[in-house]
């Protein structure tokens, strides 16, 4: 999924309420310890900000650049990632790093909220957003009150409306989110979501689970 420009403005606040959102079970998994800030591996600089899963000692480093509003990213999260996690991340073969590449101001707002959560709850909230895109994402859906919809999503993670507004209004966080995306463009040529930097190689799109297994197994065979 591509767009011409990164929009860095914040989502406007509105006052119209949205309907009740159906319950979604969180994808609970606490991130493991990161590399020390500034560490390099396969040409990728890892930072203390990165949200990760798996062992830093894994032979494969996978960095995903994705956007909360990206439907293809949501498909990867729901269809491919659970299999990837079970077979490669949890077994110490892949160290997974997730970075947001915002495609709109709504992505900036969503990531700002996610960053207000404890690190161990980050992935659960991102998964919640992906599984509920039609309820809050205005790209392709009729969402009259995006702010209200995001408040609804945040409520499932225990964040109240006032705290949501504080998170979204954090200009320093918004700047950092945008900078991460700009760095991805400059260093790795990221211009679409989802994009993956895997042991220094670029891979764009979701593909099939068989494609992923073939690709990762070939990388492991080189070790």
Q: What is the pLDDT of residues 154-163, one digit of tens each?
A: 999 999 999 9
Q: In whole numbers, what is the pLDDT of the chain averaged over residues?
A: 86
pLDDT at 37: 52
- The values of phi and psi at residue 162, to 5°, are -65, -40
Burial 31-51 (b: 16+ CB within 10 A, else e): beebbeeeeeeeebebeeebb
pLDDT over 90, % of the chain: 77
Global pTM value: 0.84
Q: Indicate whether 103 pLDDT > 80.
A: yes
Mean pLDDT for 27-32 is 44
DSSP state of 9: S
Work out the percent of the chain whose per-residue pLDDT is above 70.
Answer: 82
pLDDT score for 43: 85
pLDDT reading at 211 higher than 60: yes
- CA 209 vs. chain centroid, Å, equals 19
Q: Where are the beta strands (DSSP E) in 5-59?
A: 39-41, 44-46, 51-53
**CA 42 to CA 150: how far, in whole Å?**
36
Per the CB < 8 A criterion, the answer to whether 196 and 63 are in contact is yes
Q: Is the pLDDT of residue 170 over 70?
A: yes
The contacts of residue 63 (CB under 8 Å, 6+ apart) are 44, 97, 98, 99, 196, 197, 198
Look at 140 and 93; give whichever has higher pLDDT: 93
Distance between CA 129 and CA 69 in Å, rounded? 8
* Residue bearing the bigger pLDDT, 19 or 165: 165
Q: What is the mean pLDDT of residues 172-191?
A: 96
Looking at the predicted structure, is the pLDDT value of residue 10 above 80?
A: no
């Amino acid at each position: 999924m591509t767009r011409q420009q990164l929009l860095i403005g914040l989502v406007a606040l509105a006052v119209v309420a949205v309907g009740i959102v159906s319950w979604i079970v969180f994808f609970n998994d606490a991130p493991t310890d990161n590399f020390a800030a500034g560490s390099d591996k396969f040409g990728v600089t890892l930072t203390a900000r990165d949200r990760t899963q798996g062992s830093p000692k894994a032979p494969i480093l996978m960095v995903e650049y994705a956007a909360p509003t990206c439907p293809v990213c949501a498909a990867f999260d729901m269809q491919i990632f659970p299999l990837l996690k079970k077979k490669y991340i949890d077994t110490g073969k892949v160290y997974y790093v997730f970075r947001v590449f915002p495609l709109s101001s709504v992505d900036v707002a969503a990531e700002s909220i996610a960053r207000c959560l404890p690190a161990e709850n980050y992935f659960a909230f991102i998964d919640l957003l992906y599984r509920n895109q039609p309820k809050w994402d205005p790209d392709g859906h009729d969402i009259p009150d995006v702010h209200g919809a995001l408040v609804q999503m945040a409520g499932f993670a225990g964040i109240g409306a006032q705290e949501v507004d504080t998170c979204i209004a954090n200009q320093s966080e918004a700047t950092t989110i945008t900078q991460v995306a700009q760095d991805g463009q400059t260093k790795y040529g990221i211009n679409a979501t989802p994009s993956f930097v895997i042991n220094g190689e670029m891979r764009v799109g979701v593909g099939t689970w068989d494609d992923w297994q073939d690709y990762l197994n070939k990388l492991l065979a080189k070790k």
